[in-house]
């Protein structure tokens, strides 16, 4: 049994009179320690998959089994707990708390779970040892995203979900951030899922899930992912 199993996942939205199907019988699996890339154009349903996987949204039908637990049956509280313990998020717009220093932003997440990493160490790991006490406003975009990654991984999540992590960053910085994410996967054995519309990023994943019109188009298994340095966009 795979670490993550999504089986016949449906997500329906009611928009006035019409029903929109965001996910239509989506099924895929991701193994533990993999770096999976979910690739799709805008509106393909990849964010929906991410939200459901991240416990931020619930599906309408189907099972989402994470490490043997079917989160599709979770209630709001269980989902929150799931997010809190098992998921680390990295957002396109970093979403750091402006009023907190880099360290505090990391602590914000690590404080609420047991067995979290030392926040200073987490920041050191992302190369921000000297920016620990800086407020987000004092950091560049890349640095902020690295703080965000540090925040996401500091609590040792089962899954690290990255939503367009490079979307707001320039090319170089984007690659740096991707490198860190990949390192997290390779060195720390974290299961990482990157959601992106950027097909150039796809080669770095062990598994690439193509979404189109709310359906799984295909799933590629990539035995030898590309090094970050080798990809370009």
Partner 1 sequence: MSKKILWRDILQSIRKSKGRFLSIFGLMLLGSFALVGLKVAGPDMQITEANYAKRLNAADLTVVSNYGLDKSDREILNDTKGLKKVEYGYLKDVVVKNTKTSFRLFSAPKSISTYEVKKGRLPQHNDEIALDYQYASDYKVGQTIRFSEKADATGNKVLRRTNFKIVGFVYSGEILSDVNLGQTTAGTGELKGYAVVLPAVFDSDVYMTARMTFTNLANVNPYTDTYQDRLQAHKDKLNQELKSQPTQRLAAIKATAQKLVTKNQRKLDDAQQKLDDAKTKLSAARKQLDAGAAEIKTKQQELDTKVAAANKKLADGAAQLKQAQSQLTTAQQQLTQAKVQLDAGQKTLTSKQQELAAAKQKLQTAKTQLDQAQQQLTSAKQQIATGQATLTSKQRELNQSKQQLIAANQQYTAGIAQLQQGLAAITQQLQTPNLPEAQQAALKQKQAELQAQLQQTQVKYADFKNTTYNPGLQKIAAGQKELTANQQTLQQKQHELQQGQATYNTKLATYQQGQQQYQKGATELAQGEQTLAQKTQLYQENLAKYQAGQKSFQQKQAELAQGKAELATQKANGEQQLATARTTLAQKESEYQQQEQKYQDQAPTARREIAAGQATLTNAKRKIKQLTAPVYSLNSRREMPGGEGYKIYTTVSEIVAALANVFPIFFYFVAALVTFTTMGRFVDEERINSGTLRALGYDNRDVIRKFTFYSFMSSMLGTLAGVILGHTLLPLIIHNAYHSGFTIPEIELHFHLGITLVAFALALLSAVLPAYIAAKSELNASAAELLLPKPPAAGSKILLERITPIWRRMSFTHKVTARNIFRYKKRMLMTIFGVAGAVALLFTGYSVRNSVAGMSETQFGDIIHYNMIVAQNDHLTADQKTDYQNLLHGQAIAQQAPVHYEELTKVAGANHDNQEIKLIVPQTTKHFNDYIDVRARKSHDKITFSNDGVIISERLSTLLNVKVGDTITIKDADNQSRKIKISGITEMYMGHFILMNQSAYQKFFSTKYQTNGNLIILKNGSRNNTETQAAKFMKLSATAGVVQNTTLTNQIATIVKSLSKIMMVLIIVAALLAIVILYNLTNINVSERIRELSTVKVLGFFDNEVTMYIYRETILLTLIGILAGFGIGDVLYRYILAVVPPDDVMFNPALAGLSFLRPVVMIGLITAILGLVVNRKLRNIDMLEALKSVD
Name which of 3 and 135 has its Cβ closer to partner 1: 135
Whether the Cβ atoms of residue 32 and residue 3 lie closer than 8 Å to each other: yes
Instruction: Identify residues 106-165 at the interface with partner 1 (CB under 8 A).
Output: 107-109, 111-113, 135-138, 151
Under the binding rule (CB under 8 A), the answer on residue 92 touching partner 1 is yes
Long-range contacts of residues 116-125, Cβ cutoff 8 Å, at least 24 apart:
116/154, 116/155, 116/156, 117/153, 117/154, 117/155, 117/156, 118/154, 119/150, 119/154, 122/150, 122/151, 122/153, 122/154, 123/147, 123/150, 125/150, 125/153
Under the binding rule (CB under 8 A), the answer on residue 80 touching partner 1 is yes
Under the binding rule (CB under 8 A), the answer on residue 99 touching partner 1 is yes
Number of residues that bind partner 1 (CB under 8 A): 37
Name which of 23 and 206 has its Cβ closer to partner 1: 23
Whether the Cβ atoms of residue 146 and residue 132 lie closer than 8 Å to each other: no
Q: CB of residue 231 vs partner 1: minimum separation in angstroms? A: 25
Q: CB of residue 84 vs partner 1: minimum separation in angstroms? A: 3
Under the binding rule (CB under 8 A), the answer on residue 13 touching partner 1 is no
Separation of alpha carbons 192 and 158, rounded Å: 9
**Contacting partner 1 (CB under 8 A), which of 14, 15, 77, 229?**
77
Whose CA is closest to 50, among 74, 28, 76?
28
Whether the Cβ atoms of residue 25 and residue 10 lie closer than 8 Å to each other: yes
Where on the chain is the footprint of partner 1 (CB under 8 A)?
A: 47, 51, 54, 56-57, 76-77, 80-85, 87, 89, 91-93, 95-101, 104, 107-109, 111-113, 135-138, 151
């Amino acid at each position: 049994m795979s670490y993550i199993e999504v089986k016949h996942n449906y997500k329906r939205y009611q928009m006035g009179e019409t029903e929109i199907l965001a996910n239509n019988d989506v099924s895929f699996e991701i193994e533990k320690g993999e770096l999976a890339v979910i690739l799709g154009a805008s509106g393909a349903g990849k964010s929906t998959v991410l939200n459901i996987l991240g416990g931020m949204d619930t599906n309408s039908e189907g099972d989402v089994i994470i490490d043997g637990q079917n989160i599709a049956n979770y209630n709001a509280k269980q989902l929150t707990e799931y997010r809190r313990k098992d998921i680390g998020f990295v957002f396109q717009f970093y979403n750091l708390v402006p009023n907190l220093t880099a360290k505090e932003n990391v602590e914000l997440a690590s404080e609420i779970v047991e067995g979290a990493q030392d926040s200073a160490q987490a920041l050191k790991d992302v190369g921000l040892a000297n920016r620990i006490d800086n407020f987000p406003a004092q950091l560049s975009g890349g640095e902020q995203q690295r703080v965000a990654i540090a925040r996401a991984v500091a609590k040792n999540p089962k899954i690290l979900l990255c939503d367009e992590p490079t979307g707001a960053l320039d090319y170089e910085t984007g690659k740096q951030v991707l490198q860190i994410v990949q390192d997290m996967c390779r060195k720390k054995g974290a299961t990482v899922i990157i959601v992106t519309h950027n097909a150039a990023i796809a080669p770095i994943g062990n598994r690439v899930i193509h979404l189109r019109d709310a359906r799984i188009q295909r799933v590629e298994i990539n035995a030898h992912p590309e090094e970050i340095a080798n990809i370009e966009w």
